[in-house]
A and B are shown apart, each in its own frame.
Chain A
Amino acid sequence: MSEAPGLDTVATATASPDTPQPYAELGMPRDEYERVREILGRRPTAAELAIYSVMWSEHCSYKSSKVHLRQFGEKAPENDALLVGMGENAGVVDVGDGNAVTFKIESHNSPSFVEPHQGAATGVGGIVRDILTMGARPVAVMDALRFGPADADDTKRMLPGVTSGISFYGNCLGLPNIGGEIGFDRSYLGNPLVNALCVGVLKHEDIKLAQAPGPGNKVVLFGSTTGPDGIGGASVLASASFDEELESKRPSVQVGDPFMEKLLIECSLELYAQDMVVGIQDLGAAGVSCATTELAAGGTGGMNIQLDRVPLRDHRLTPEEILMSESQERMMAIVEPAKMPDFLAVCDKWGILAAEIGEVTEVTPEEAERGGRLVMTWHGETVVDMPPRTASDEGPVYQRPFARPESQDALQADDAAKLPRPEGDTELREQLLRVLGAPGVCDPTWVTQQYDSYVRGDTVVSTPHDSGMIRISDDSDRGVALATDGNGRYTLLDPYVGTQLAYAEAYRNVSATGARPLAVTNCLNFGSPEDSGVMWQFAETTRGLADACQQLGTPVTGGNVSFYNQTGDVAINPTPVIGVLGVIDDVNARLRSGFDTDGARVFLLGETRAEFGGSAWADVVHDHLGGLPPQVDLPAEAALGEVLASSAEQGLAAAAHDLSDGGLAVALAEAALRGRRGLRVEVDGDAFTSLFSESAARAIVAVKPGREEAFVALAAQHGVPVTQIGTVGGESLSVSHPGGVVEIGLDELRATYEETLPALMNGV
């Protein structure tokens, strides 16, 4: 291999202002490039252009979403539990007794489409490092997945690959996978969604931040070596130095090494415990570019880096490729010089490679004014000399135009209420089974069975129940519960209401296991922000979530935006995935969704209206999407949540299950199957509406025998409508109504529920 034809140093850049630069190929618009030239007072070097292009990308800078995301801070409710808010790697909330929890959800959509297994695997790896970076021990993961139609050829490539990637990486890290969701819709064909969530536990005093204080402190890169994976656009900067054939063999998707990540977790936690780091940042998107600019910007503003000291797995890498590499399993720490020998000894114990690549420097007041000074050299020659804050914090901010699409009126006018309803019990029964067996509703065991849910021994509730719950430690009864939800069909019909419904469902899920909701994370998956209709959906979504969180007192602690999920002009259904975290004081009181207490009375909480817009019934039976989504009533959700959590706390409930996709029909079937007991239920009025309406703020509860009165009184105290609808027991689900009865044996119910995914996915 010949050397690159001339290093693009700061001196070269100053001397050759007119050299054409491939900013457009790197995805940087001309005006942003001009702004870089203005900041630097010259053209950027290739390395500087690499840094600005990745740091100012939509993915890293949130330039299209920022103006909307601000509402999460502006409307944030007063909440004493919030210890670290938005803007850091992940939010941190107080859960009592000096314990804190950090959690966040993030997308890895595009890499998963390109290479499902590695894309999903490294999605898990990335979010786990975010949690680790906060100073926490990662303790559990979850994932929210969306695919094209379950019988589409590409879904049979995507789903097994994504599942095996999550399984491979998460299992090997020893993190229980405690829940999540899976959905199918044609809008995701070509744009699958892979959103991974991680939660970590720490003590208040252990919180770490991405900052680099203290001039003279060392900058240490530790973990994996840096290779050419995930470089993507960097090749255009360096094209002269490779022949084309070699270049084409380089993967644009990163490759994960979970064993290295496991070592990195244990090594980092030991470094934290011994107080050996003053600042820490993981290397994710934008790799060294992001870690150095953010650490420097969060500290003195000054840093010198010797890029040639970065340990490489391919010695041919150029400075700009090193800066853009997204090689996984790497961390950057700021370490006091006196602690370096001990730092290296801990790394050595865990077999972790560590390299001192630079140090924190003083900046002059003038330099501070400009945004600090980050200098990088390559074998003694200066290739970067820039104010880091201009890359990390002062990127472009767009006020993208947004407008309600003209088609929205017609969509909402296409009311699901006019769809033909089942005539007679035979058809009602048949439609119940069709909805129950539909890919997005049916038993997800084919997927979830590939995930370790038991490791660490603190999993108190997991799939398939309403939330995932973990005990915080062996010597505490306190637990945290997490649920994620997002219904793209509702959100398409009304993004404001649909987002609040997603939030409400996650809130309800957490309550249904006995926990009280405390804080929120979100992953907002949308089409192109350059489409004004998509941008309107996004604006409505952020407004809806900020309003809901304000109203119910659960702050947004962080999240992630994924734009450009579209093929040609066709965007995905807008899919905000909302994660709600709750706390339960005594995990022994937790509720699960299987109704397994023979003779227990079953109560329906909440009010049922005729609401079918965006429902599973409209989708499965009529392939219809139109009308308005169910109404959202946040005070009713809060009241319901309080009744559920209190009934767990007071020992009134034996089990509980929230109502969502497929309404009462699906909730009853799941409660029966998971409890391995039949249910005898009686409903007033129209059986179809009772069974298939998706009215929000509802749940079913199996009440402990003898506690019925107390339960009804509790519901009344909180103003939640309560109706006794049946009894646990028998070998079938039987629903009688004024016009007749629908009865399905447990065996048939189970076969319908369980056979869908194996039939589609086995042998592919």
Chain B
Amino acid sequence: MTARVGVVTFPGSLDDKDAARAVSLAGAEPVALWHADPDLKGVDAVVLPGGFSYGDYLRCGAIARFAPLMSELVPAARSGALPVLGICNGFQILCESHLLPGALTRNSSLRFVNRDQVLRMENTRTAWTNGYDEGQEILVVLKSGEGSYVADEETLDQLESEGRVVARYVGGNPNGSRRDIAGVTNAHGNVVGLMPHPEHAVEALTGPSTEGLGFFTSILGHLAAPAQA
């Protein structure tokens, strides 16, 4: 049976169409989820896409965490049952929802940055990264104004020691993220937050590479063999 992967649209979501396309290209069925409906429609996994969920004039993701849909999503994700990938604004929402530690703050340059970005994959045991090799370098897209990952030293040390840093920036830290962190996961490995955009690197025609597709094929692998989580 084809895996069904939900893509949430908040009013200010922008990369929802892209995330759905990536899900399709990976061979899964994208299912549109609406922020105001507290209904996950029985999906097998969820992508929180990039954008500016509610305009984000307050703090990125700060309002989105209170969306009706999130009341269903958060407990399922926290229990380890529901795989969730938060990209960019989705990562910010996961941090605001306390599904992931830390926070995303303004880029150290104080400017939005849109560029092709190399990442090194560090944890390839999560629901969303099992298709990559540890240490593999992939080229994806980074585009964010508030992408600098921060957490206190204790939390950072804990993330490192538990192997929960999913990916790091290579070739120059683009935004001041602590320890070059581009993405982290929770203890279960089902929730992954990533600041760069793998969904923009899935077609040779439009992306800098197709190396972002691995996030979306990984979830298929994970769902086919759930015991590995």
Hey, which bits of chain A sit against chain B, CB under 8 A?
A: 164, 167-168, 171-174, 257-260, 262-263, 266, 350-351, 448-460, 471, 474, 587-588
A-B contact pairs, 22 of them (CB 8 A): A164-B112, A167-B112, A171-B143, A172-B14, A172-B52, A174-B14, A174-B15, A257-B55, A258-B55, A259-B12, A259-B56, A260-B55, A262-B11, A266-B11, A351-B11, A449-B112, A449-B115, A451-B114, A453-B114, A454-B197, A454-B206, A456-B17
Q: Closest Cβ of chain B: how far from A618's Cβ, in Å?
A: 34
B205 at the interface (CB under 8 A from A): yes
The residue of chain A having its C-beta at the shortest distance from the C-beta of B208 within the complex is A454
A455-B55 in contact given A450-B113, A450-B114 (Cβ < 8 Å): no
The residue of chain A having its C-beta at the shortest distance from the C-beta of B34 within the complex is A349
Are A454 and B55 in contact, with the CB atoms below 8 A? no
Are A455 and B15 in contact, with the CB atoms below 8 A? yes
Q: Looking at the complex, which one of B11, B17, B113, B145 makes contact with A457 (CB distance below 8 Å)?
A: B17
A449-B113 in contact given A259-B54, A454-B143 (Cβ < 8 Å): yes
CA distance A649 to B204 in the complex (A): 18
For chain B, the bracket of interface size reads 20 to 34
B125 at the interface (CB under 8 A from A): no
CA distance A174 to B54 in the complex (A): 13
Are B57 and A459 in contact, with the CB atoms below 8 A? no
Which 9 pairs from chain A and chain B are nearest by CB?
A259-B55, A174-B14, A457-B18, A454-B200, A450-B112, A167-B112, A452-B143, A172-B52, A454-B141
CA distance A257 to B12 in the complex (A): 12
B59 at the interface (CB under 8 A from A): no
CA distance A257 to B57 in the complex (A): 10
The residue of chain A having its C-beta at the shortest distance from the C-beta of B141 within the complex is A454
Chain B residues within 8 Å of A455, by CB: 14-15, 18, 50, 143, 200
Of residues 134 through 169 on chain B, the ones whose CB sits less than 8 Å from some CB of chain A are 141, 143, 145
A262-B112 in contact given A457-B21, A458-B206 (Cβ < 8 Å): no
Of residues 151 through 206 on chain B, the ones whose CB sits less than 8 Å from some CB of chain A are 197, 199-200, 203, 205-206
Chain B residues within 8 Å of A266, by CB: 11
CA distance A260 to B113 in the complex (A): 23
Chain B residues within 8 Å of A453, by CB: 114
A171-B112 in contact given A262-B11, A454-B207, A456-B18 (Cβ < 8 Å): yes
Chain A residues within 8 Å of B15, by CB: 174, 455
Chain A residues within 8 Å of B143, by CB: 171, 452, 454-455
CA distance A266 to B203 in the complex (A): 26
Other than A171-B143, A262-B12, A454-B114, give 15 A-B pairs with Cβ distance below 8 A.
A164-B111, A167-B112, A168-B112, A171-B112, A172-B52, A259-B12, A266-B11, A350-B11, A351-B11, A448-B114, A449-B115, A457-B206, A457-B207, A458-B206, A474-B21
Hey, which bits of chain B sit against chain A, CB under 8 A?
A: 11-12, 14-15, 17-18, 21, 50-52, 54-57, 111-115, 141, 143, 145, 197, 199-200, 203, 205-207
Q: Closest Cβ of chain B: how far from A423's Cβ, in Å?
A: 41
Most buried by B among A449, A451, A471, A474: A449
CA distance A457 to B145 in the complex (A): 19
Q: Closest Cβ of chain B: how far from A138's Cβ, in Å?
A: 12
Are A459 and B206 in contact, with the CB atoms below 8 A? yes
Q: Closest Cβ of chain A: how far from B188's Cβ, in Å?
A: 30
Are B205 and A460 in contact, with the CB atoms below 8 A? yes
Chain B residues within 8 Å of A174, by CB: 14-15, 51
CA distance A167 to B203 in the complex (A): 25
Chain A residues within 8 Å of B141, by CB: 454
CA distance A588 to B204 in the complex (A): 9
CA distance A471 to B206 in the complex (A): 9
The residue of chain B having its C-beta at the shortest distance from the C-beta of A453 within the complex is B114
Q: Closest Cβ of chain A: how far from B106's Cβ, in Å?
A: 12
Q: Looking at the complex, which one of B18, B57, B111 makes contact with A259 (CB distance below 8 Å)?
A: B57
A449-B17 in contact given A259-B12, A454-B207 (Cβ < 8 Å): no
CA distance A350 to B112 in the complex (A): 27
CA distance A454 to B22 in the complex (A): 14
A172-B12 in contact given A257-B55, A450-B112 (Cβ < 8 Å): yes
CA distance A125 to B138 in the complex (A): 35
CA distance A456 to B197 in the complex (A): 12
CA distance A119 to B205 in the complex (A): 34
Chain B residues within 8 Å of A258, by CB: 52, 55
The residue of chain A having its C-beta at the shortest distance from the C-beta of B50 within the complex is A455
Q: Looking at the complex, which one of A257, A450, A460, A588 makes contact with B111 (CB distance below 8 Å)?
A: A450
CA distance A371 to B143 in the complex (A): 52
CA distance A450 to B111 in the complex (A): 7
Q: Looking at the complex, which one of B14, B50, B55, B205 makes contact with A588 (CB distance below 8 Å)?
A: B205
Q: Closest Cβ of chain B: how far from A350's Cβ, in Å?
A: 7
CA distance A266 to B143 in the complex (A): 22
CA distance A336 to B114 in the complex (A): 44
CA distance A456 to B18 in the complex (A): 6
The residue of chain A having its C-beta at the shortest distance from the C-beta of B9 within the complex is A266
Chain A residues within 8 Å of B200, by CB: 454-455, 457
Q: Closest Cβ of chain B: how far from A271's Cβ, in Å?
A: 16
Chain B residues within 8 Å of A164, by CB: 111-112
CA distance A471 to B50 in the complex (A): 21
Chain A residues within 8 Å of B12, by CB: 172, 259, 262-263
Chain B residues within 8 Å of A458, by CB: 206
The residue of chain B having its C-beta at the shortest distance from the C-beta of A175 within the complex is B14
CA distance A197 to B114 in the complex (A): 20
Most buried by B among A454, A456, A588: A454
A460-B206 in contact given A172-B55, A174-B14, A454-B141 (Cβ < 8 Å): yes
Q: Closest Cβ of chain B: how far from A348's Cβ, in Å?
A: 11
Chain B residues within 8 Å of A259, by CB: 11-12, 52, 54-57
CA distance A457 to B197 in the complex (A): 11
Are A263 and B114 in contact, with the CB atoms below 8 A? no
CA distance A471 to B21 in the complex (A): 14
Chain B residues within 8 Å of A351, by CB: 11
Q: Closest Cβ of chain B: how far from A590's Cβ, in Å?
A: 8
Are B203 and A457 in contact, with the CB atoms below 8 A? yes
Q: Closest Cβ of chain A: how far from B18's Cβ, in Å?
A: 4
CA distance A50 to B111 in the complex (A): 40
Chain B residues within 8 Å of A171, by CB: 112, 143, 145
Chain A residues within 8 Å of B51, by CB: 174
The residue of chain A having its C-beta at the shortest distance from the C-beta of B109 within the complex is A762
Q: Closest Cβ of chain A: how far from B119's Cβ, in Å?
A: 16
CA distance A588 to B203 in the complex (A): 11
Chain A residues within 8 Å of B203, by CB: 457
CA distance A460 to B200 in the complex (A): 12
CA distance A266 to B9 in the complex (A): 12
CA distance A266 to B17 in the complex (A): 13
Chain A residues within 8 Å of B115, by CB: 449
CA distance A577 to B55 in the complex (A): 32
